[in-house]
Amino acid sequence: MRVAYFINQYPKVSHSFIRREILALERLGMTIQRIALRGGKGELVDQEDLEEQANTQYVLESGVFALLSAVLKVLISTPIRFFMTFKLALKMGWNADRPLVFHLIYLVEACQAFLWMRSFGAQHVHAHFGSNSAEVVMLAHALGGPPYSFTVHGPEEFDKPQTLKLAEKIRQASFVVAISSFGRSQLYRWIAHEYWHKVKIVHCGLEQSFYDVASSLPPHKARLVCVGRLCEQKGQLLLLEACRMLKEKGLEFELVLAGDGEMRPEVERAIKAYGLDANVKITGWISSKQVRDEILASQAMVLPSFAEGLPVVIMEAMALKRPVISTYIAGVPELVIPGENGWLVPAGSVLELSNAIEQVLSASVQQLSDMGEAAYTRVTQRHSIDTEAGKLAALFLESAR
């Protein structure tokens, strides 16, 4: 089966789960076309990402004249469909999160994507995220393109489902994927009951090669790692407040912030203001192998997020047999079981976060190892990329019938 993938930015360091999904589908015998609006130039460090970049067609790299030519070709070949799709774009732009002009741009992008998919012979197209990428594939479908689906991750889609016109995108889709039971429940809130059957759960997954490394006990060194974009929703500033409390108690520890992002200057100022220069370091963007090495060199992974879907990095840490500290939000409690494979704290509570970290620092290597084994068992049972890709492939085949 020939399936097109449409993504806003691909490849992207923080979206390695999409690459894993595509490669797993290809292992199942599917032929995948990659289409993206833009690439991840400047931040890519993984060789696999660089290879994916070479295999991807980029809409915005075509140039203005090529895009206008695509619009003209579609208009001439299917004028009625074009004007019906134009009306749909106007409808999507009414009381939307972005001005109308953006939705007309999405129509232009859809024309180019439609022509590429038609040339490829795509039988289905799948998008990730319920924002502009889902709208582009919906418009391409209205132009005469293949049936479409999209994966909703959250939290952005759950913050503004009405202005994103999520209900309309789901109504016209063959199906929509939620990555957790929580995510499914949030979609149920915004669509009519008659469309609930369209919402399917397909977890993000890990390939076995990621965690197929020599098993190692957690280190004796008091070391934690937080992996993720430095941004407001991940809670790194709260984590630094908790670290300040621990330092004031005289505890010795090291924290690695693995990642980069728009809040890096603010995070760096907080590290300096709290006197944590000797305790906390920021790595910047690092490869998947380096992320794995940082997790293995730590006693636990901590991610005190304020808003999430279900973070892949939690799965990665658990697959590497490290317990996790995170928050009682979104799909996280579906994976992390307090006292068994990690700790969960109320989001925004610096005191409870500090207490959880202190429990990690005071735990024996054996205790941490036992929790890590439990984490490994749970995540590998629920988040195998080949199993989850198989579910998605079955949905694609059903859609194409």
What residue segments make up the domains of the chain, in order of their start?
A: 2-205+384-400, 209-382
- In one-letter notation, the amino acid at residue 54 is A
pLDDT of res. 41: 64
**Tell me: the pLDDT tens digits for 335-345?**
999 999 999 99
Q: What is the CATH number of domain 2-205+384-400?
A: 3.40.50.2000
Q: What is the dihedral sign for C-alpha 18, 21, 27, 28?
A: negative
Tokens 């194409």 map to which residue? 400
Low-confidence ranges of the chain (pLDDT < 50): none
Superfamily of domain 209-382: Glycogen Phosphorylase B; (3.40.50.2000)
- Asked if domains 2-205+384-400 and 209-382 share a fold, the reply is yes
Peptide bond into 11 cis (omega under 30): yes
Q: Average model confidence (pLDDT) for the chain?
A: 95
Any idea what DSSP says for residue 300? E
pLDDT of res. 9: 95
Percentage of the chain modeled with pLDDT above 70: 99
pLDDT of res. 401: 85
Tokens standing for residue 173: 């889709």
**Tell me: the pLDDT tens digits for 22-69?**
999 999 999 999 999 998 666 677 788 889 999 999 999 989 999 999
Tokens standing for residue 315: 């799965």
Residue 15 contacts residue 43 (beta carbons within 8 Å):
no
pLDDT of res. 213: 74
Peptide bond into 304 cis (omega under 30): no
Percentage of the chain modeled with pLDDT above 90: 91
Best CA proximity match to 260, nearest among 278, 283, 237: 283
pLDDT of res. 40: 65
Best CA proximity match to 320, nearest among 356, 357, 347, 288: 288
